[in-house]
Amino acid sequence: MKISLAKKIDRNRPLALFVFEKEAAPEGLPNRKDLLAEAARDGFKARAGSAAVLHPRNGSPSRDLILAGLGPKAKFNAETLRRAAALAAKQAASRSWTDLTYVPPRTVSDAGREIRALAEGALLAGYRFLKYKSKKEGPRLARLEVLPGKVAEGIARQAVKTAQVLVETVSFVRDLVNEPPSRLTPARFAELAREVAREGADSGISVQVLDRKKLEELGMEALLGVNRGSAEPPALVHLRYRPARPSGSLALVGKGITFDSGGLSLKPAESMETMKMDMAGAASVLGVFRALPALKPDLEIHGILALTENMPGGRAQKPGDVLRSLNGKTIEVLNTDAEGRLVLADALAYAVRQDPDAVIDLATLTGACIIALGSLVGGAMTNRDAFYDELEKACAETGERFCRLPLVDDYREGLKSAVADVKNISSFRKEAGTIVGGLFLSEFVDDRPWLHLDIAGTAWTDRELPYCPPGGTGFPVRTLLQAVLNLSAGNLKDL
């Protein structure tokens, strides 16, 4: 779907207008007051999440109009507009309209930010994964325009461009998460990383793929242990983005379990149905690198993808096995379904070896996070308060949500092992599972500034969301990119 700026209103094209509750005064459009009155007679009260479609006749700025509600003006923010724009796009698509012009509300707290939010919502709502459908959908909304009004053209153009980059990245990540696991194997994932590096080579992106032999030479027994039951070989991908004058360095580490059966600690059949999404953390990191040439942050960025399947084959690791990780710590494996923390143990240790100023890891790590926070809020843990503050700033821009959980050191007692340095699950079962996962990972970051994002609930949706259909969500790649831009403008070394 294409989106661009409109120079003026074309009466032959449908319009989307955005309306606050109890709004009565005209706002720059002919007969706006009459249009609102007509919609009100049909029960439209401009509540957030509501819409009305009008087909006015004389004196209207358009033959077809969508009015999207924004709710009370006092509660308005960018996410409200993002959702309203998505709703308008869905209304247009349901009527087989192929064109739509958006007229942003004139709030105006930050016009560029609002135009970006509007463009994001409209574009995100148009995503569909149709690669394996033999019967394609009918006509779809193909072209969107935004009327910038009094906003400076340069600001409006940059806002639309940024939105386009972010949405293309989200769509790329959604495609990866939706891809069948027998097609998106670790080897194929690594090849995609090579393609991203080739496309971004002129912008300073390079890649190294560590195969099984190299992983064995380095002593990455934790990653190799998870892979033992699989016929598919593992890989650790190291992407690197090097601008001319970096202001700091950041490592992004992604869990990439391309299918998780649970290993010998086998999951129930129903729990395996969506386990192709267990690589969403790695997909998000790869998505970031795909966007870097367009966004051009001045940070050096390392992307570490730990790629493998977790299968119950004849050579699979067993409960009771002891693995030695890259940083030398030994791990007693008591549950092979707690495999994400194992591959991340080696990946985080490898990331620390690159000597970054800070580390962020993303993982669909714990079912406990879904129980605690549901499917709409991610979990976050960190060893630096300032790092979480940066995450909150990014979330304020993107509308994605995280909740900080404490790294309660008293829970570390449950990870002590009689035969190794640490166990991969706690002795205190069914208690603080997400926090325990974070405490385990903290053993491998060398007290470097570190932020752990548990996206187990948010990387996938079984229901229609305001601007995402069922399937992979692309969460939290927009927030991750926003954080990279914010840290690029600030001082990463102060974390």
The topology under which CATH files domain 2-147 is Leucine Aminopeptidase, subunit E; domain 1 (3.40.220)
**Does 319 or 4 have the greater pLDDT score?**
319
The pair of structure tokens assigned to 430 is 């069914």
- Listed in order, the ranges of the chain carrying CATH 3.40.630.10 are 170-494
Confidence (pLDDT) at 107: 64
Confidence (pLDDT) at 37: 85
Confidence (pLDDT) at 24: 64
Question: What pLDDT band is residue 29 in, cutting at 50, 70 and 90?
Answer: low
Q: Is 8 a catalytic residue?
A: no
- Distance from C-alpha of 13 to C-alpha of 99, rounded to nearest angstrom: 7
Confidence (pLDDT) at 176: 98
Would the pLDDT of 26 be above 60? no
CA atoms within a 13 Å half-sphere pointing along the CA-CB vector of 272:
16
**Does 13 or 479 have the greater pLDDT score?**
479
228, 341, 423, 478: the catalytic one is 341
- Listed in order, the ranges of the chain carrying CATH 3.40.220.10 are 2-147
First to last CA, the chain: 39
136-150, 412-426, 444-458: least confident range: 136-150
Closest CA to 251 of 150, 358, 343: 358
- Distance from C-alpha of 403 to C-alpha of 440, rounded to nearest angstrom: 19
Mean pLDDT of the region 177-195 = 98
103-128: b or e for each residue (b if 16 or more CB lie within 10 Å)?
Answer: bbbeeeeebbbbbbbbbbbbbbbbbe
pLDDT in tens, 420-472: 999 999 999 889 999 999 999 999 999 999 999 999 999 999 999 999 999 99
267, 384, 401, 448: the catalytic one is 267
Q: Is 135 a catalytic residue?
A: no
Question: What pLDDT band is residue 490 in, cutting at 50, 70 and 90?
Answer: confident
Confidence (pLDDT) at 478: 98
Mean pLDDT of the region 288-311 = 98
Question: What pLDDT band is residue 63 in, cutting at 50, 70 and 90?
Answer: confident
20-34, 223-237, 249-263: least confident range: 20-34
| pTM more than 0.85 | yes
pLDDT in tens, 466-486: 999 999 999 999 999 999 999
What single DSSP character describes residue 69? E
Would the pLDDT of 281 be above 90? yes
Would the pLDDT of 300 be above 70? yes
Q: Which stretch of DSSP H or E encloses residue 209?
A: strand 205-210
pLDDT in tens, 369-410: 999 999 999 999 999 999 999 999 999 999 999 999 999 999
The topology under which CATH files domain 170-494 is Aminopeptidase (3.40.630)
Confidence (pLDDT) at 23: 77
Closest CA to 78 of 56, 124, 110, 123: 110
Please answer whether residues 302 and 421 qualify as being in contact, where contact means their C-beta atoms are separated by less than 8 angstroms: no
Average pLDDT, the chain: 94
Closest CA to 495 of 327, 315, 359, 343: 359
- What type of residue is 105? P
Looking at the DSSP assignment, which residues form a beta bridge with residue 18?
Answer: 68
Question: What pLDDT band is residue 110 in, cutting at 50, 70 and 90?
Answer: low
Q: At what angle do helices 340-353 and 433-442 cross, to 10 degrees?
A: 30
Closest CA to 280 of 470, 454, 466: 454
Confidence (pLDDT) at 1: 79
Would the pLDDT of 32 be above 80? no
Question: What pLDDT band is residue 56 in, cutting at 50, 70 and 90?
Answer: confident
Mean pLDDT of the region 46-58 = 88
The pair of structure tokens assigned to 198 is 């080739």
Confidence (pLDDT) at 495: 87
